[in-house]
Amino acid sequence: MAEKVVIIGSGPAGWAAAIYTSRANLEPLLFEGAATQENYNIGRPPLGQLAITTEVENYPGFPAGPLQQYLTGSIDKKLQYLMNEDAGHGISGPNLMLLMKQQAINFGTRTRTEDITTVDFSSRPFKLTTEGGEVIEAHAVIVATGARANYLGLESENRFKNKGVSACAVCDGALPRFREQPLVVVGGGDSAMEESDYLSKFASKVYVVHRRDEFRASKIMADRVLDNPKIDVKWSTVVDEILGDDEQGVTAVRLRSTKDESQTEELKVSGYFAAIGHTPNTNFLDGQLEMNEKGYVTWTVPFRTNTSVEGVFAAGDVADDNYRQAITAAGSGCMAALDAERWLAAQGHH
C-alpha cells in the first residue's frame, strides 16, 4: 500500500515536516539518509549540516546558559545526559537535531537510515527507490535533502573541521576560539563579503583570499569589505594548505599566488572559513523537478512549497540558496507539511 507522505531528508526541514504530518495523522515515513563515511565526507550526513557543526546559539528557544537547569524532567533520560554536555552553550548542532528527531518519533514518525537513490514522479503514486533497491510508493513527497557547503577539497579541511575550519561564519564566527584572533575567508562572492564583514566584528584581523584580482560580489558588498580597516584582501591567491595540530586545531594557512605559483606565504590564523558556494543535494531527482539556474528546486507557487510536480513539495536549503538557516529550514518544513496535508485532503487521503 502506498504511503500517504514520504519525507526525504533529516535536517530541520525534514523533522519539522515530520512533526507536523505526524500530528495530522498522516503517518509519515522519513528517509534520513545513509550513515556512510562518504555521506559524512561530502557534508550530507543523516541529521543534516547541523550534525557536523558545533554549538548553535541562534536557534530560538535555546539561549546560551546551563540548559539542564530548566530542561531537567522534561526530556528523556538519554537526552538529559546529552544536555549536560551543553552547559554554558545554546545547544550543540547534533543535539538539536536529536531533539527534533525524538520529537517527530514521539508523534509517530517512522524513520529509515537509508538514501533514496532514484525517484519516479511521472505518475501517481510516486515511486521512490532505496539504495537497497526497494521501491516505496507515496501519494505525496516532501523533498528536504538540504545543501552542502563547497570546500576546496584539501585533506586538511576535513582534518580540522570543527577545529577552526568552518563554512558558516554566521553559525560559528562568534565562538570563543575565533574571538580576537586573525581569521581567513576564502571566496570572492557575496557570501565571502558578508562572512568577512561579519567576522571582523569578533576577529582581530580578517584576510579574504580570492583566486582572481576582482570580486564576483556586488559592488556594495565588495566596497564594505574594501573599506573595512580590519579586513585585508589577498588578491590572486589560493589556500594551498591549512596548517595546525590536533591540540590547537588551525594555526596558519599557506597561500599560493595564482599568478606565480612559486610564490607562497604563510599566514598565522586560528580560523579558516570556506565561502565558495553551496551545492544542493538533488542528484537523486535526476532533473524531475524544475530547478533554478544554480540547481536549487524551484517553488512554483509564491509563498507555497509546491514544486513543478503536483503532490511533491520542497522545504529547507534544497529550495533556498538565500537564507540557509536552521530556523528558516524548519519554518519551510512546517509549510511543506501543511501544503502536503491540504493537497492530500483534496485528493481524499486523510
Task: Enumerate binding residues for ligand NAP (CB under 6 A).
Answer: 152, 186-192, 194, 211-212, 216, 238, 275-277, 321
Question: From the CB of residue 71, how many other CB atoms can be counted at a distance below 10 Å?
Answer: 16
Cell 543534516 belongs to: 48
Catalytic pick from 115, 168, 334, 339? Answer: 168
* Beta strand ranges found along the chain (DSSP E): 3-8, 29-31, 55-56, 91-92, 110-112, 116-120, 126-130, 135-143, 147-149, 165-166, 182-186, 205-209, 231-234, 237-245, 249-257, 264-268, 271-274, 278-280, 312-314
Q: How near is the Cβ of 214 to ligand NAP at its closest, in Å?
A: 8
The dihedral over CA atoms of 96, 119, 317, 17, expressed in degrees to the nearest 10, equals -50
Instruction: Reply yes or no on whether 317 is catalytic.
Output: no
Three-state SS at 12:
helix
Contact 333, 12 (CB under 8 A): yes
Catalytic pick from 172, 197, 240, 317? Answer: 172
Question: From the CB of residue 202, how many other CB atoms can be counted at a distance below 10 Å?
Answer: 19
Q: How near is the Cβ of 140 to ligand NAP at its closest, in Å?
A: 30
Q: Which is nearer to ligand NAP, 83 or 276 (CB)?
A: 276
Q: How near is the Cβ of 116 to ligand NAP at its closest, in Å?
A: 27
Catalytic pick from 171, 240, 334, 339? Answer: 171
Q: Which is nearer to ligand NAP, 185 or 337 (CB)?
A: 185
Question: From the CB of residue 77, how many other CB atoms can be counted at a distance below 10 Å?
Answer: 7
Q: How near is the Cβ of 201 to ligand NAP at its closest, in Å?
A: 16
Q: How near is the Cβ of 125 to ligand NAP at its closest, in Å?
A: 36
In angstroms, the CA 106 to CA 292 distance is 36
The dihedral over CA atoms of 63, 67, 70, 75, expressed in degrees to the nearest 10, equals 110
How far is C-alpha 17 from the geometric centre of its chain's CA atoms?
A: 16
Q: How near is the Cβ of 282 to ligand NAP at its closest, in Å?
A: 16
- C-alpha gyration radius of the chain: 21
Q: Which is nearer to ligand NAP, 152 or 243 (CB)?
A: 152
Q: Which is nearer to ligand NAP, 22 or 196 (CB)?
A: 196
Instruction: Reply yes or no on whether 168 is catalytic.
Output: yes
Instruction: Reply yes or no on whether 240 is catalytic.
Output: no
Contact 138, 2 (CB under 8 A): yes
In angstroms, the CA 211 to CA 170 distance is 23
Residue whose CB is nearest to ligand NAP in the complex, by number: 189
In angstroms, the CA 330 to CA 339 distance is 14
Q: How near is the Cβ of 21 to ligand NAP at its closest, in Å?
A: 30
Q: Which is nearer to ligand NAP, 212 or 268 (CB)?
A: 212
Q: Which is nearer to ligand NAP, 85 or 232 (CB)?
A: 232
* Upstream peptide bond of 125 is cis (omega within 30 degrees of 0): yes
Q: Which is nearer to ligand NAP, 212 or 342 (CB)?
A: 212
Catalytically active residues are: 168, 171-172
